[in-house]
Structure 1
């Protein structure tokens, strides 16, 4: 028996935690609480680092048992091998499917959070330019070909 069940079980736990953290992150974006957002980013990084370590450990185990090619390990090779096995590995199949489902859900939440963050950044940039008296219409090209805003004499800071 290949000892990958504990790895998949821990991956499943991490993905549940990550899903929760992504929900917290979305709420923090809504409240614009930068301290909470930074703390959440640290938690996410810790979980992702642990997942990477587990993935490396699983890969080494599967190489050791000859399921993965040492030069080019692939998930498809493992899935193919798992599909050829008898029902004694049904628990591994189930755990793997649950992990894949949770991972897809986490990716969707993460992409949603990224879009929210992008929108917040654009809004903040626009507000900052407004405070400086810059307008997206008042830009000129520099010698290097990039654009540079022209400062207005009527900024909110000078009013």
Structure 2
């Protein structure tokens, strides 16, 4: 039997932890706690690095056992092979399905966090421009055709 179960079990654990970190990240965005956000980003990157290593290990195992082509290993080839196997591979099928579901949930959470972060960045940019006396509505064209904001003489920083 091909030793894929430990790889998929570890992948599942990583995806579960990643999901938790994404929840914590969204909460940290709400609190605007940069120290926690930076720490969570580091933890997420470590998990993603480990996930990439596991994927390489899985591909090497599949190549070693002749399941996928060495020159162009593909996920589809593995899935086709797995579908043709008997019930002894049910554990692998189940783990793979669970990993795919967790991955979908993580992608949704990550996209949600990206939208929250984008909103926070826009708000911060607007507040920064307001402090500088700039307004996105008050822009003029330069001689080269680009735009630049009109600076107010009475900024909050100069008041």
Q: With structure 2 as the length reference, what TM-score do the two structures score?
A: 0.96
Aligned to 1:121: 121
Equivalent-residue separation in structure 2 for 1:116 and 1:128 (angstroms)? 18
RMSD over equivalenced CA pairs, Å: 1.0
- Write out per-residue CA displacement over residues 133-155 of structure 1, whole angstroms, 9 at most, x where no aligned residue: 00111112335543211111121
Superposition pairs of residues 3-152 of structure 1, within 5 angstroms: 3-152=3-152
Number of paired residues? 159
Runs of 4+ that moved beyond 6 A: none
Cα deviations by residue, 1:41-77 (Å, 9 ceiling, x for unpaired)? 0000000000000000001111111111112111111
Paired with 2:21 and 2:98, the residues of 1 have a C-alpha distance of 18
- Counterpart-to-counterpart distance in 1, 2:23 and 2:144: 43
**Uncovered stretches (5+) of structure 2, i.e. residues with no partner:** none
Q: What stretches of structure 1 of length at least 5 have no aligned partner?
A: none
Bigger mean CA offset, 58-67 vs 100-109: 58-67
